[in-house]
Amino acid sequence: MQAQLLSGAAVATQIKQAVKEEIERLSVGGPAPCLAAVRVGDDPASAVYVRNKIQACAEVGIKSEHHALPETTTTAELLELVRSLNSRDDVDGILTQLPLPKAVDETIVIEEIDPRKDVDGFHPINVGRLGLGRPQFVPCTPAGIIELLDYHQIEIRGTNACVVGRSQIVGRPMAQLLLQRDATVTICHSRTSDLAAVTREADLLIVAIGRAGMIDRDYIKPGATVVDVGMNKLTEPEEVRSMFGPAADKRLEVLAKRGYTLVGDVKPVDAMEVAGRFTPVPGGVGLLTVAMLMKNTLKAAKLRRGIA
């Protein structure tokens, strides 16, 4: 029996529809919420991500600004832009698309964003509030995963949950959210001894490590729920056949058309045979990340206007 696919599309649509309806009510007596997206450099993936976020803003009624800066932008120049956005009363949310060029100090830039406009949830104040169990803005990908699990009525309380990856963007905040929902949580990383032995104990396995198809059947407990956060490109036909098995034909067509196809950090052919439930890549977690950004921007606008 194959694993049930946990598509993010229906969940993301539901979240965005709720945001759209609330913005319509909110905008009757005042301006629509506004999100300022800042991108530095010419990274193609970053350009796509920002474009998707701007498009989602248009769908739900959020006003958006796109500040595209050259690769040569200095930390001081970026800080000047952030400060100007902080001071503007017509801007409710600020996001700086990561990663930034190596010449820019990412930490300083994130800390400069007004915590009340930090819709990515990366500012130390928002990280601290999450750690205390009193979150204001939660990073969008972990928040979206919780929405996905709730939508499909997947039990979190009392489960053995394992998070593979310890980034500030996904791994650490994901572990905090699961802990606050009464899961027993293990965080794994590149230094974990016998990783497969740990992950095989997990009823809920969330993978965010950035290595294409690393998690195969040996890492998955039979019947487990597996959430794949990874987004990696495959460019060789033999890699595609190995990752997707009997389902490779459609992916090979995509490869022939685009020059690549996407895969997560979990080997799909193995997850479909061993897991109980599994998120596809694409079409899974990524859609929810953008939807939760819309929800956070609405929340920022309400908080700044004193609306509960």
| Angle, CA 17 vertex, CA 16 and CA 21 arms, to 5° | 115
Report how far Cα 282 is from the mean position of its chain's Cα atoms.
12
The rounded distance, in Å, linking the Cα atoms of 146 and 229 is 13
Cβ contact 191:209 at 8 Å: no
Question: Could you say which DSSP state residue 302 is in?
Answer: H
* Active-site annotation, residues: 53, 97, 120
Q: Is 209 in contact with 267 (CB distance < 8 Å)? A: no
What's phi and psi for 78, nearest 5 deg?
-70, -40
Nearest to 302 by CA among 28, 14, 20, 33: 33
Q: How many CB atoms lie within 10 A of CB 246?
A: 8
